[in-house]
Structure 1
Amino acid sequence: MELSEEQRAVRDVVREFAEEEIRPVAREADTEERFPEDVWDGLADLDLTGLTVPEAYGGYDADRLTYSVVNEEVAYGTLSVATALSVHCLATSCIATFGSEDQKERWLPEMVDGRPVGAFALSEPGAGSNPAEMTTEARKEGNEYVIDGTKQWITNGERAGVVVLFAKTDRDDPGSVTQFVVPKDADGLTVGKKEEKLGLRASDTTSLEFDGVRIPAENRLTEEGKGLSAALSILTGGRIGIASQAVGLAQSALDEAEAYAGEREQFGKPIGDIQTIRHKLADMATQVRASRLLTRDAAAREDRGESPRMAASMAKYFASEAAMDVTNEAVQIHGGYGYVTEGDVERLYRDAKITTIYEGTSEIQKTVIARELLD
Structure 2
Amino acid sequence: MEENVTIHRYFDSAEQAELFTLVTKISEKELAPVAAAFEARAEFPRQLVARLGELGVMGMAFPERWGGGGQSVTFYLQVVEELARGWLAVAESVHLQVLTCRGLAQYGKDSLRERYLPAMLEGRLLGGNCMSEAEAGSDLAAMTTSATATDDGYEISGLKTWVSHAGVADVYLVYCRTGRSGPGGISCFLVEAAQDGVKVFPPFAKMGVCALPTAQVAFGEVRVPAERMVGGRNRGMLVAASVFDHGRMGISACAVGLAQAALDYASAYAKERRQFGSPIASFQGMSFMLADMAAQIAAARALVLSTARLIDDGYPASAEAAKCKLFATDTAMRVTTDAVQILGGYGYVRDHPTERWMREAKLLQIIEGTNQIQRATIAQSL
TM above 0.5, yes or no, is yes
1:355 is aligned to 2:364: yes
1:4 is aligned to 2:11: yes
1:77 is displaced (CA, Å) by 1.1
CA distance in 2, matches of 1:84, 1:60: 19
| One of 254, 260, 276 as aligned partner of 2:269 | 260
Corresponding position of 1:294: 303
8 Å contact from structure 1 (residues 25, 36) kept in 2 = no
Mean alpha-carbon deviation: is it higher for 49-58 or for 28-37? 49-58
Corresponding position of 1:278: 287
Q: How many residues are aligned here? A: 373
Mean alpha-carbon deviation: is it higher for 278-287 or for 47-56? 47-56
Corresponding position of 1:245: 254
3-state SS in 1 of match to 2:230: coil
1:142 is aligned to 2:151: yes
Q: 5 Å matches for 1:82-101? A: 82-101=91-110
Aligned AA (1:313): A
1:59 is aligned to 2:58: no
1:327 is displaced (CA, Å) by 0.1
Aligned AA (2:268): A
CA distance in 2, matches of 1:367, 1:8: 38
1:337 is aligned to 2:327: no
Aligned AA (2:96): V
3-state SS in 2 of match to 1:203: coil
CA distance in 1, matches of 2:236, 2:363: 25
TM-score, scaled to structure 1:
0.97
CA distance in 1, matches of 2:155, 2:131: 17
Q: 5 Å matches for 1:11-90? A: 11-90=20-99
1:343 is displaced (CA, Å) by 0.8
3-state SS in 2 of match to 1:50: coil
8 Å contact from structure 1 (residues 52, 92) kept in 2 = no
1:71 is displaced (CA, Å) by 1.1
Corresponding position of 1:228: 237
CA distance in 2, matches of 1:173, 1:345: 43
1:8 is displaced (CA, Å) by 3.9
8 Å contact from structure 1 (residues 135, 171) kept in 2 = no
Unaligned runs of 5+ in 2: 1-7
8 Å contact from structure 1 (residues 75, 248) kept in 2 = yes
CA-based RMSD of the aligned residues comes to 1.3
| One of 185, 194, 197 as aligned partner of 1:185 | 194
8 Å contact from structure 1 (residues 119, 164) kept in 2 = yes
Aligned AA (2:159): T
Change (3 A) 1:222 1:301: same
What does the per-residue CA deviation read over 1:106-144, in whole Å, with 9 as the maximum and x for residues that have no partner?
Answer: 101211221210101111111111110011001111221
Q: 5 Å matches for 1:356-371? A: 356-371=365-380
1:252 is displaced (CA, Å) by 0.3
8 Å contact from structure 1 (residues 127, 133) kept in 2 = yes
Unaligned runs of 5+ in 1: none
8 Å contact from structure 1 (residues 72, 247) kept in 2 = yes
What does the per-residue CA deviation read over 1:275-308, in whole Å, with 9 as the maximum and x for residues that have no partner?
Answer: 0000000000001000000001110000111111
Mean alpha-carbon deviation: is it higher for 59-68 or for 79-88? 59-68
CA distance in 1, matches of 2:123, 2:373: 31
Corresponding position of 2:5: none
Aligned AA (2:10): L
Mean alpha-carbon deviation: is it higher for 250-259 or for 50-59? 50-59
Q: 5 Å matches for 1:205-224? A: 205-224=214-233
Corresponding position of 1:201: 210
| One of 130, 138, 152 as aligned partner of 2:139 | 130
CA distance in 2, matches of 1:351, 1:74: 14
CA distance in 1, matches of 2:329, 2:128: 22
3-state SS in 1 of match to 2:187: strand
1:173 is displaced (CA, Å) by 5.0
* Percent of matched pairs sharing the same residue: 39
CA distance in 2, matches of 1:112, 1:315: 25
1:109 is aligned to 2:118: yes
Aligned AA (1:346): E
8 Å contact from structure 2 (residues 133, 161) kept in 1 = yes
CA distance in 2, matches of 1:48, 1:205: 22
8 Å contact from structure 2 (residues 129, 172) kept in 1 = yes
CA distance in 2, matches of 1:58, 1:304: 22
CA distance in 1, matches of 2:193, 2:360: 27
8 Å contact from structure 2 (residues 50, 124) kept in 1 = no
Change (3 A) 1:339 1:171: farther
CA distance in 1, matches of 2:181, 2:118: 37
Corresponding position of 1:154: 163
3-state SS in 2 of match to 1:86: helix
TM-score, scaled to structure 2:
0.95
